[in-house]
Amino acid sequence: EAQVTQNPRYLITVTGKKLTVTCSQNMNHEYMSWYRQDPGLGLRQIYYSMNVEVTDKGDVPEGYKVSRKEKRNFPLILESPSPNQTSLYFCASSFDSNQPQHFGDGTRLSIL
Amino acid sequence: GESVGLHLPTLSVQEGDNSIINCAYSNSASDYFIWYKQESGKGPQFIIDIRSNMDKRQGQRVTVLLNKTVKHLSLQIAATQPGDSAVYFCAETGAGSYQLTFGKGTKLSVIP
């Protein structure tokens, strides 16, 4: 089954404790992206990757890092999480940026 | 489920009626537009897309209309069903851009 898998689905943690949210897709997509979703603000793009080893900032990259060492994986790293990063996060993938993206089911992060 | 619909514009329709959800965009260089549906607790799901060389595209029970003159996009759902209840987002991207920009979303509630 074609899918985008995120882990964990839920995480409660404390300020400053590094965390990684993993994202994996099995569709051989070149393009992958991370979004955060906040009430009243919709989905905002954090980072995206056009292909392996090629990443770039989206609209809200501050406080986040990404890596794309393999085509299928695109982890989101919060080196020193802060409460304003409490949000619902989505990973997505597509063949390229001008094709429909497939989304994961989301990761709810709570930073205390 | 995840609460992403706070403070969203809401459209309530009777089951069996047609629904029209509107979206305004600001970037005149955008040339690819997508509608997504997001149900509670899930990631956005692709519904239909349209490119700027078209002004109308039809799918199964859904039609997207694009008016480039006034930078307006609409999603029409025929014979709306309870399963159509969700938050609907439009998204846009431009030629040569790797970024996808989402609208704030509209919550559709279908009254049985």
The yes-or-no verdict on residue B27 having pLDDT over 90 is no
Could A104 and B49 be called an inter-chain contact, meaning their C-beta atoms sit closer than 8 Å? no
Per-residue pLDDT of B60-112, as tens digits, reads 999 999 999 999 999 999 999 999 999 999 999 887 777 888 998 999 999 99
Nearby residues of B70 by Cβ (< 8 Å), 6 or more positions away: none
For each of the domains in chain B, give its residue range(s) and CATH number, in order of start. Answer: 10-111 (2.60.40.10)
* Terminal alpha carbon distance of chain A: 36
> Which residue, B49, B103, B42, B43, is CA-closest to A96?
B49
> Which residues in chain A have their CB less than 8 angstroms from residue B7's CB?
39-40
Option in A97, A102, A104 nearest B100 (CB) = A97
List the Cα angle B11/A36/B86 in 5-degree steps.
25
Q: Chain B residues with CB inside 8 Å of A56's CB?
A: 98
In tens, the pLDDT along A25-76 reads: 999 999 999 999 998 888 999 999 999 999 999 999 999 999 999 999 999 9
- Nearest-Cα distance to chain B for A11, in Å, is 14
Q: Is the peptide bond before A8 cis (omega within 30 degrees of 0)?
A: yes
CB nearest to A42's CB, from B3, B41, B105: B105
Read off the amino acid at residue A69: K
Answer whether residue B2 shows pLDDT above 80. Answer: no
Calpha distance A48→A30 (Å, rounded): 11
Q: Supply the DSSP string of A11-66, one letter for each residue.
A: EEE-TT--EEEEEEESS--SEEEEEEEETTTEEEEEEEEEETTEEEE-S--TT-EE
User: What residues in B contact A35, CB-CB < 8 Å?
Assistant: 102
Closest CB to A88: pick one of B2, B8, B97. Answer: B2
